[in-house]
Amino acid sequence: MTVSLVSVLFVAAQTATLIFGGAVTVLALKAFRRTGSPALRALAAGIGLLTVGALLGGTLHQVAGLGLRRSVLVQSVATAVGFAVLTYSLYTDHDSESTGRIDGD
């Protein structure tokens, strides 16, 4: 069985998405734990959904043998939900009591 260049590039891109998306998710979670900010919790969840969606879509196609259209659909739904959560994180109230910040910082 011959591995095509497209398959190699696909796996490389998915791997990079997992590594960098996972790193940003962990950093956002650490920031949430440090500050208690609901916005940072939502940010971590949104980036996590984007990362897991990309991983799940690629895994379903490459490993489970699910068709490309269905795999892309799974990834697209996770991406849409992830961006919705990210949008929510931008509109979450940032009161100084929950974040430990003083007004004017």
Q: Profile the chain (105 residues) by mean pLDDT over runs of 10 residues.
A: 80 91 96 94 95 89 86 93 94 60 49
Residue range(s) defining the domain that contains residue 80: 22-93
Q: Flag whether 44 is in a domain.
A: yes
Tokens of 80: 């849409």
Phi, psi of 3 (to 5 degrees): -90, 125
Q: Flag whether 43 is in a domain.
A: yes
Q: Flag whether 87 is in a domain.
A: yes
Q: Flag whether 15 is in a domain.
A: no
Q: Flag whether 83 is in a domain.
A: yes
Q: Which pLDDT score is estimated for 100?
A: 52
Q: Flag whether 105 is in a domain.
A: no
Q: Which pLDDT score is estimated for 102?
A: 46
Q: Which pLDDT score is estimated for 14?
A: 87
Residue type present at position 71: S
Q: Flag whether 7 is in a domain.
A: no
Q: Which pLDDT score is estimated for 43?
A: 95
Q: Which pLDDT score is estimated for 103?
A: 47
Q: Which pLDDT score is estimated for 1?
A: 54
Count: domains in the chain: 1
Q: Which pLDDT score is estimated for 53?
A: 92
Q: Among residues 61, 48, 41, 60, which one has the least CA distance to residue 18? A: 48
